[in-house]
Amino acid sequence: MDRSENLQVNATDPGDQNCFNTSKNLQVNATTLGNQNTDCSNIINSFNTTLNSTCADEQLEIQKWLSSLEPGTRHEDVRNRRQDGLGNWFLQTQDFIEWSNFKSGKATLFCSGSPGVGKTYLR
Amino acid sequence: MIDTLCDQIEENNTAVASIYCDFLGSKEQTTRNLIGALVKQLVRVLGMVPPEIDRTFKKAKREGRGLRVPDVIQLLEATLARLDRTFICIDGLDECPDKILPELLTSLHAISQGSPSVRLFITGRPHVQSVLERYFPDSVQVILISPNSRDIEEYIAKALREDLNSRAMDCALEAEIMEHIQEQISDVYAIAISKSKAQSNH
C-alpha cells in the first residue's frame, strides 16, 4: 500500500502569507494515519521545527534591517540606575495626566530642563 | 517615564516606543535609523511583522536597495494603524546632531499629524524649545523640570546610605552635608535665574 495515501496534513490558514504566523505549521491528521502515525509525526515535527526557526531568523533579519539601534538596552541601563520616587511630582501634574490620557489638545509634551536635572530618569 | 506609561497601560493594544539621542553615538543617529528603531520596537510589541513591512523587506532585498526616510515613515504609519494608542518618547533632543534635527522633527511632526492615536514625549535642554516650536506650531505643551528640595534631599540621603566610608559619618555630619548642599544648590539656581533675567532684559 502506498503510504502517502494515508498521510493527510493540514496546513491551517493557507491564505496567510506571513511567515510569522505559527498556525502555518503542519498538523498530523491522526485518524487516517493509524499505525504509521509515529513515523509521520516525527517527520512533520522536524519540518515544523525547521520552519519555525527559519521564521525566527527572518524576523530577526527584518528587525536588524529596520534599524541597527537598540534603544531597549539604554532603557534597561537608565532603569537600573534610577532612584524611584524622584521627580514623581512631575507625573502628578495636570499637564502630564491630561496628555497621557489623550485628553489634552496638544499631542506633544516637551519636558525642558538643564543638563543633569534628571529628565531621562523620570520614572 | 516609560515605565510609568507602561504601568498605566491597561488596554492591550497600546504601545510605548522610545529613542535616546546621544552625542556619543552620532554616527548611527540618522533619521532613518531612529525612526526605524521605533518601528522595530512596535513590531516587537505586536509580536508579528505586519504584511506591509514583510512586503517592503522582501522587495528591498530582491532589488538590493536600502530603506529611505519616506519608506520608514510609511512603515511606521502602517504599524501605528495596528495599535489603538502609541506613546513615542524622544530623550535628549538637544543631543541630536544638527544636520539631522530638521529632518527628524519634520518627520515626527508629519507622523503626529497623520496619526491621532500618537502622543509624543520629548525631553531636552531649554534651548531646543524654540526649534521644537518652529516645527510643531501650536501643538507643544512645555513642562519645566527642576529638582525640588525633596528630590535633592532624597538623593543625598541615598548617596550617604551607600557611602563606603560610612564609618566616618555621624548624624551631625550628615545633617551638615544635607544643609550645605541644599544651600549651594539654591545659590546656583538663584545665580542662574538672575543671569537669565539679566540677559532677557538686554
Can you give the length of chain A in residues? 123
What is the Cα–Cα distance from B41 to A71, expressed in whole angstroms? 9
A70 contact residues in B (CB cutoff 8 A): 37
The minimum CA-CA distance between A107 and chain B, rounded to whole Å, is 5
**Most confident listed range (A20-34, B123-137, B139-153):** B123-137
The answer to whether B34 contacts A69, with C-beta atoms less than 8 Å apart, is yes
User: How many other C-beta atoms can be found within 10 angstroms of the C-beta atom of residue B27?
Assistant: 8
Sign, Cα dihedral of A42, A47, A53, A59: negative
User: How many other C-beta atoms can be found within 10 angstroms of the C-beta atom of residue B51?
Assistant: 13
What is the Cα–Cα distance from B44 to B18, expressed in whole angstroms? 13
The minimum CA-CA distance between B99 and chain A, rounded to whole Å, is 19
Read off the pTM.
0.69
Residue of A nearest to B150 (CA): A86
Q: Is residue A87 over pLDDT 70?
A: no
What is the Cα–Cα distance from A89 to A85, expressed in whole angstroms? 9
A23 contact residues in B (CB cutoff 8 A): none
Cell of A7: 498521510
Cell of B9: 497601560
Tell me what pLDDT residue B88 has: 95
Those residues with Cβ within 8 angstroms of residue A4's Cβ, 6 or more apart along the chain or in another chain: none
Interface confidence (ipTM) of the complex: 0.71
A72 contact residues in B (CB cutoff 8 A): 41
Task: Decide if A93 touches B, using CB distance below 8 A.
Answer: yes
What DSSP element (H or E) covers A112?
A: strand A108-112
**Which residue in the set B20, B60, B141 is minimally distant from A108, CB to CB?**
B141
Q: What is the pLDDT of residues A18-34, one digit of tens each?
A: 555 444 566 655 555 55
CB B84 within 8 Å of CB B114: no
The answer to whether A107 contacts B119, with C-beta atoms less than 8 Å apart, is yes
